Amino acid sequence: MRSRQRMFAAVMRLLLKCLRLGRRRRFKLVRQVEQLWHYGHLCLRSLLYNSFTNSDVVLDSLFEPVYWLVDHVTRWFGVVFVALVIGLTSSIVAIVYICLLPLILQTYTPAWICWHLAYGHWNLIMIVFHYYMAITTSPGHPPQAKNDLTGVSICRKCIAPKPARTHHCSICNRCVLKMDHHCPWLNNCVGHYNHRYFFSFCLFMTMGCIYCSISGWEMFRDAYAAIERMKLLDKERLQVAANQTYYQTPPPTFSFRQRAFHKSVVYLWVLCSSVALALGALTLWHAALITRGETSIERHINRKERQRLQKKGKVFRNPYSYGSWDNWKVFLGVDVPRHWLTRVLLPSPHLPHGTGLSWDLPPCVTEQRAPLLAI
């Protein structure tokens, strides 16, 4: 009898221990769920940790994977874009030398021949020089030694002082002095030291495309009409073969050289006209920015600052603008009148004004206007 009571008591004690252990496990699971809930709530509230966070910050965070993909694709395809520019430009030059130049030498007057030879080769030299300098010249970066570096803010990516007009390029993963934008067609950033080369390349490439489009208009019309005649003759030849009328004389055929000549002229005119429209619009856009003393990034910053101050009844003035004419002289590096020939109309590797770290008054500026507010 006593042995049964002892066995029953042991079984009850074991059952109570199991119940206590299960209860502890349930309490531990509930505590883990509560901790995860508080942690998730804290992460959600961290998006609104200060008054500067708004919907734009949230959207930037959501689109960060898209930005990462675009940056890496642009970085790897930059070499392809450069090769494409070189290949298309070389094809146009080859067509001009092989197809058009012999025709010009045979049909044009000596005065027009001299004009085409002089202007065409000058324009080609300017395009090649400025494109080479734009892709090989570093845009400028802040120095690694940060002891004597004067910064107006801290770069969020580099965690380093950032001088005025300096911005971080997510594709190059470096801060760029006076950054305008990252150009995939150069596979390089457009900044303080190669901004002039980039704009000059766009300008002379546009001028060259317009020159080819205007000069080759009559040749394009004749070549296009010849291609249409080729299509009609090919259709007639197929009809003759289908009817099996061997007694009829087959229509004359164009030789391979004639076909290649006409198609090359059409290709030249269409490509040059398209590039002239697209690149011409880009050149005008950058010319307007240079006239105002701004870069592409600064335009958006200045517009927001102008709108903010306008609501307060104040006026914003760009501290880096010295007037339209002086802005162009500073940008092109024209200090004396002869520089318009030696530095603008001829290839020149001269450096821009300043170091990109500080912005003192250039020597070519006649008057200094005190800015009302600085960005």
CA 234 to each of CA 222, 228, 231, 340, 347: distance values in angstroms, whole numbers, following the listed order? 18, 10, 5, 56, 50
What is the predicted pLDDT for the residue at 371?
45
- Contact by Cβ (8 Å): 364, 326: yes
In a domain, 210, yes or no: yes
In a domain, 249, yes or no: no
What is the predicted pLDDT for the residue at 111?
92
List Cβ neighbours of 301 (8 Å cut-off, separation of 6 or more).
375
What is the predicted pLDDT for the residue at 247?
52
What is the predicted pLDDT for the residue at 176?
93
- Contact by Cβ (8 Å): 201, 283: no
- Contact by Cβ (8 Å): 126, 347: yes
What is the predicted pLDDT for the residue at 179?
94
Angle (nearest 5°) at CA 12 between 10 and 14: 70
Catalytic residue among 99, 175, 183, 272: 183
Question: pLDDT digit of tens for each residue in the chain (375 aa)?
Answer: 566 666 666 666 666 566 555 555 556 677 777 788 877 777 777 665 655 556 666 666 676 676 666 666 767 788 899 999 999 999 999 999 998 888 888 888 999 999 999 999 999 999 999 999 999 999 999 887 656 566 567 888 887 888 889 999 888 888 999 999 999 899 999 999 999 999 999 999 999 999 999 988 988 999 888 888 887 877 766 665 556 554 555 555 677 788 888 899 999 999 999 999 999 999 999 999 999 999 999 998 888 888 888 888 888 888 888 889 999 999 999 999 999 999 999 999 999 988 888 888 887 786 655 444 433
What b/e readout covers 234-253, taking b as 16+ CB neighbours within 10 angstroms? Answer: eeeeeeeeeeeeeeeeeeee
In a domain, 368, yes or no: no
Q: Which amino acid would we find at residue 53?
A: T
What is the predicted pLDDT for the residue at 16?
59
In a domain, 38, yes or no: no
Q: Which two tokens stand for residue 254?
A: 């164009």
In a domain, 57, yes or no: no
Instruction: Give the integer Cα–Cα distance in Å for 285 and 269.
Output: 24
HSE, side-chain direction, 13 A CA sphere, residue 296: 16
364 tagged catalytic:
no
In a domain, 21, yes or no: no
Global confidence as pTM: 0.77
What is the predicted pLDDT for the residue at 205?
97
In a domain, 263, yes or no: yes
What is the predicted pLDDT for the residue at 340?
93
In a domain, 300, yes or no: yes
Instruction: Give the integer Cα–Cα distance in Å for 352 and 193.
Output: 6
DSSP secondary structure code for residue 360 in this structure? P
**Helical ranges in 312-374 per DSSP H:** 324-332, 339
CA 101 to each of CA 107, 112, 205, 258: distance values in angstroms, whole numbers, following the listed order? 10, 12, 19, 16
DSSP secondary structure code for residue 364 in this structure? T
Instruction: Give the integer Cα–Cα distance in Å for 71 and 48.
Output: 27
Q: Is 318 left (phi over 0), alpha (psi -120 to 50) or beta?
A: beta
Instruction: Please count the structural domains in the chain.
Output: 1
Instruction: Give the integer Cα–Cα distance in Å for 275 and 100.
Output: 20
What is the predicted pLDDT for the residue at 232?
82
Residue 295 is part of which domain span?
Answer: 62-243+254-357
